[in-house]
């Protein structure tokens, strides 16, 4: 989701965590069209990374588990984490046999929570889909990547998808979404979603706190600080103007 074309800040701008507060309390932010976008991502993710039934996946910032709805057909080893108790409750209700962890925008608190609830677990793929733009600054995003790198299996990868940067255009992304909705006869759902993005508490929040833009150089630096290499993967999500990266230890 992105509210305006110019929404964004340079990676070193520090903000107050408005987006964290927004997401902690949201109950209505997930719409049918987002499921369409997530389904597109799941398909491309499974094909690109050749995910199979033996792989373990952690969906960090999972929302109500839309991605897990799609990945459950590929593997049974799935866990999710999110800062919103309502989404975590929904995720647990829909997938009672998977682990869902309620985390916090405070990385140290989250580190402790994950140590308790995911102790000893290692994941082949840790996915952050459409969440990097909601961090208050690059530093807090980097701290989370550093924390998550401790949960990667030996050949594990961290997938950071739908990253917003200088090239991002919400108009191009909305057109791509519209195209997918037209193909599925979901114009009313698209209209409802756009009204939400433009006129709801989401748009109010975006006036107070810009979305975090992360450049390729910045994400490479974050990866480098964690001893990871960073590869750009165009076309992993349906949003043509957003960027996607795979962080891994492999040479």
Ligand X SMILES: C[S@@+](CC[C@H](N)C(=O)[O-])C[C@H]1O[C@@H](n2cnc3c(N)ncnc32)[C@H](O)[C@@H]1O
Residues making contact with ligand X (CB under 6 A): 1, 20, 23, 38, 61-63, 66-67, 82-84, 87, 103, 105, 129-131, 134-135
- What's the Cα-to-Cα distance from 140 to each of 71, 132, 183, rounded to whole Å? 28, 10, 38
- Least CB distance from residue 251 to ligand X, whole Å? 29
- Least CB distance from residue 175 to ligand X, whole Å? 19
- Least CB distance from residue 166 to ligand X, whole Å? 20
Give the residue from 19, 237, 220 showing the smallest Cα distance to 128: 237
Q: Which is nearer to ligand X, 87 or 151 (CB)?
A: 87
Query: In terms of C-beta density within 10 A (0-12 exposed, 13-18 middle, 19 or more buried), how is residue 45 classed?
Result: buried
- Least CB distance from residue 140 to ligand X, whole Å? 7
- Least CB distance from residue 40 to ligand X, whole Å? 11
Q: Which is nearer to ligand X, 66 or 152 (CB)?
A: 66
Q: Which is nearer to ligand X, 125 or 135 (CB)?
A: 135
Extract the tokens encoding 173: 């992304």
Q: Which is nearer to ligand X, 67 or 209 (CB)?
A: 67
- What's the Cα-to-Cα distance from 99 to each of 36, 110, 119, rounded to whole Å? 24, 15, 12
- Least CB distance from residue 171 to ligand X, whole Å? 18
31 in the Ramachandran plot: left (φ > 0), alpha (ψ -120 to 50) or beta? Answer: beta
Extract the tokens encoding 48: 């690109």
Q: Which is nearer to ligand X, 60 or 152 (CB)?
A: 60
In 77-202, the DSSP E strands lie at 77-82, 99-102, 123-129, 152-163
Specify the residue for token string 């499921």.
35
Q: Which is nearer to ligand X, 152 or 238 (CB)?
A: 238
Q: Which is nearer to ligand X, 109 or 229 (CB)?
A: 109
- Least CB distance from residue 135 to ligand X, whole Å? 6
- End-to-end Cα distance, the chain: 33
Give the residue from 120, 171, 127 showing the smallest Cα distance to 150: 120
């Amino acid at each position: 989701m992105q509210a305006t074309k110019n929404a964004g800040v340079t990676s070193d701008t520090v903000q107050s965590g408005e987006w964290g507060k927004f997401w902690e309390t949201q109950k209505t932010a997930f719409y049918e069209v987002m499921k369409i976008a997530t389904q597109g991502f799941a398909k491309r993710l499974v094909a690109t990374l050749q995910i199979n039934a033996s792989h373990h996946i952690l969906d960090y910032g999972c929302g109500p588990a839309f991605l897990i709805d799609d990945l459950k057909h590929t593997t049974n080893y799935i866990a999710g984490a999110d800062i919103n108790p309502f989404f975590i409750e929904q995720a647990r209700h829909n997938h009672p046999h998977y682990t869902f962890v309620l985390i916090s925008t405070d990385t140290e608190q989250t580190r402790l929570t994950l140590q308790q609830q995911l102790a000893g677990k290692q994941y082949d793929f840790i996915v952050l889909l459409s969440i990097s733009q909601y961090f208050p600054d690059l530093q807090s995003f980097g701290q989370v990547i550093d924390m998550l790198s401790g949960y990667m299996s030996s050949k594990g990868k961290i997938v950071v998808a739908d990253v917003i940067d200088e090239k991002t255009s919400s108009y191009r992304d909305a057109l791509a979404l519209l195209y997918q909705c037209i193909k599925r006869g979901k114009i009313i759902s698209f209209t409802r979603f756009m009204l939400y993005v433009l006129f709801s508490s989401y748009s109010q929040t975006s006036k107070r706190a810009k979305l975090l833009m992360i450049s390729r150089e910045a994400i490479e630096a974050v990866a480098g600080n964690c001893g990871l290499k960073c590869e750009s993967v165009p076309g992993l999500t349906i949003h043509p103007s957003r960027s996607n990266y795979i962080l891994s230890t492999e040479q």
